[in-house]
Amino acid sequence: MTKLEVLELAGVKKRRRPKGAAICTAAAIFMLVLFAQFSGALTEPGAAYGAIWQDFFVNPVQTDNNSAVRFTVGYRKGKGLYLQTLEETPIKVVVDGTSVVSRTTLPRLEDILQEAGVELGPKDRVEARFDTSSDQMPELVVVRVNTRIVTEEEKIPFQVKSVQDPSLAPGSTRIKQAGQDGLLMKKYEVTTENGEVVQKRKLGSEVIKEPVTQITAVGVRSKTKLASRGVSLHNKRVLKMIATAYTHTGNPTASGVMPYVGGVAVDPKVIPLGTELYVEGYGYAKAVDTGGLIKGNRIDVFLETAKECYQWGRREVKVYILD
């Protein structure tokens, strides 16, 4: 170990010791080594001592810090001589509501951590814990500080809008457009200490999926004249019929087209296929299909889902013949 290494480990800056002080220090080290040799602690101290002695005189050191330091020389079996640096350290003592600054010499934190094989990250910190009320040894607690960006998704509930539909029975409803929830992504900066969250800072948010409004049709009492088509039901032939409902079967209608809302099944002997109709509680319709059970004054209206068919049930309606 060189003189430069010894003094740099000690943290001495801008201070040059007198040559006489250096000689005294080296002599003390020499006596320590001789004692260790005669006591059997060292088997070959000469080389280690000689290197230190030579370096104190051959390699003068320029320092740039006036803080005082102390260092001790020790020996570890199998490793040889080592130096421990004790650096003058100010310590604030808070007592009885006042603060007192004391100075003492302690091992440098860097040396302690290096000896323990600990490397600090850029944001890590070290906390000292001393408990004088027990026999527990003092602790240096390394707090690992990490910062990362995380995202969280939040549901945006859809809104419900109601519209009047005179084609439905008063008080009944039908979903014309199913609602869908939207999705909001929030971005946060999260700081953890030893794996536990200590700070969560919101950076922003972004809608990644817009909600779809649910549109519900509500039946209202129909009027004789419906402005939407400009067709008057006045003086039209009216049939009282039993109305049921059916939904998709995968088969085309008797007219050759696939079933659709507004197409109804009738008995062609009562209502010819292709006849334009207005069905109370259902709306404008066209006779496009037939059915094995649809005989006489029976009509089967088409709806999109089985649930709607159950809601429709079996009812008596007025059917206006528009042709």
Give me the pLDDT at residue 90, please: 73
Q: What is the mean pLDDT of residues 10-38?
A: 54
Give me the pLDDT at residue 62, please: 44
The pLDDT of residue 172 is above 50: yes
> Lowest-confidence range among 68-82, 250-264, 291-305?
68-82
User: 69 by DSSP, 3-state: which?
Assistant: strand
For residue 130, name the pLDDT band (cuts at 50, 70, 90).
Answer: confident
The pLDDT of residue 283 is above 80: yes
For residue 201, name the pLDDT band (cuts at 50, 70, 90).
Answer: very high
The pLDDT of residue 13 is above 80: no
C-alpha–C-alpha distance, residues 141 and 103, integer Å = 22
Q: pLDDT digit string (tens) for 64-100?
A: 455 566 666 666 666 666 666 666 677 777 777 787 7
pTM as predicted:
0.41
User: 8 by DSSP, 3-state: which?
Assistant: helix
Give me the pLDDT at residue 174, please: 81
The pLDDT of residue 26 is above 80: no
H or E, element range at 106: strand 98-107
The pLDDT of residue 189 is above 70: yes
H or E, element range at 108: none
Q: pLDDT digit string (tens) for 202-232?
A: 999 999 999 999 988 876 655 444 444 556 6
Q: What is the mean pLDDT of residues 29-57?
A: 51
Q: What is the mean pLDDT of residues 159-186?
A: 81
The pLDDT of residue 153 is above 70: yes
Give me the pLDDT at residue 93, please: 73
The pLDDT of residue 2 is above 50: no
For residue 116, name the pLDDT band (cuts at 50, 70, 90).
Answer: confident
Place of tokens 């319709």: 285
Of the candidates 144, 139, 137, 148, the residue with the CA atom closest to the CA atom of residue 119: 144
Domains of the chain, earliest start first: 3-89 (no CATH), 149-216 (2.20.230.10), 223-321 (2.40.40.10)
User: 246 by DSSP, 3-state: which?
Assistant: strand
Average pLDDT, the chain: 76
Q: What is the mean pLDDT of residues 297-302?
A: 94
The pLDDT of residue 200 is above 60: yes
Output DSSP code: residue 224: S
Q: Where are the alpha helices (DSSP H) in 193-315?
A: 306-312
- Return phi, psi of residue 234, to 5°: -70, 135
Q: What is the mean pLDDT of residues 189-199?
A: 93
Give me the pLDDT at residue 11, please: 45
Q: pLDDT digit string (tens) for 133-146?
A: 777 777 888 899 99
